Structure 1
């Protein structure tokens, strides 16, 4: 089980690292606008002020960066934070889809419109967070280096799939609106 926990933690770290880097490198205005629309989906009025989105957008990036930075020294705290973020993102996406809010997902620098595939991705990430919290890897010194290397490579492959899930889903899977 130590390899499973290690792999889940690596998967979460890699996905959140890609998210942070893509948001820092991407168009800030587009990210703020997407954040405004998702915030609006959470509110009864259906609308959120741009000023609120300008405040929340950098907080989201900082929280995602904290997940990455805390995973080695404080994995329990990092995974709890990741779980809270993924749950909040999932709730906002689900409400946006239900209310017909047209916005793009800026999670990984893309411009794909929100779809059910974004919810599938969040569910997969939440599963990885739960597994990372459930299975304590213990001291990694007891694990074999080769096993850790294979697990890290598998986590990298899984992270690529998770990051590009909506494109893969639209290409090979059913349409999830």
Structure 2
């Protein structure tokens, strides 16, 4: 199964303190850029890949999307999304994106914010998305920059003088 650090209680607790967890889409630095890429959502079928707390799912529903499906591998994320969602119009489902199967030509928009970089087999997912999109459908996504995910041990290092640096070993891998 795809990497799932979000069900680790300590990691999940830390994630809950981030602006994106507290303020939703407005707390996500990439949101203003991604929002500009979105087509009109009224009447559309939308799937959020790695939906987390469900912020984008609720946005899509509120913009008039006809069907919204939020997928995440994390049970904790899906529980939080369900807890934060009132009303109808959104289905949340646990799914390993590397094993995703959906009906051909059934989705107008796939959206994913900072989730796809966790996957090892991205070509298989992209093949599935391509077959699932309706003609003219779109994939709008962001991915974590590799400078953050490249180090085997992520975090700041301090030298003997207290100078901090972020390691970028394994960047090309």
Higher relative contact order (CA 8 A, sep 6+): 1
The structure with the greater share of residues assigned to helix is 1
The structure with the greater share of residues assigned to strand is 2
TM-score of the aligned structures, taking structure 1 as reference length:
0.29
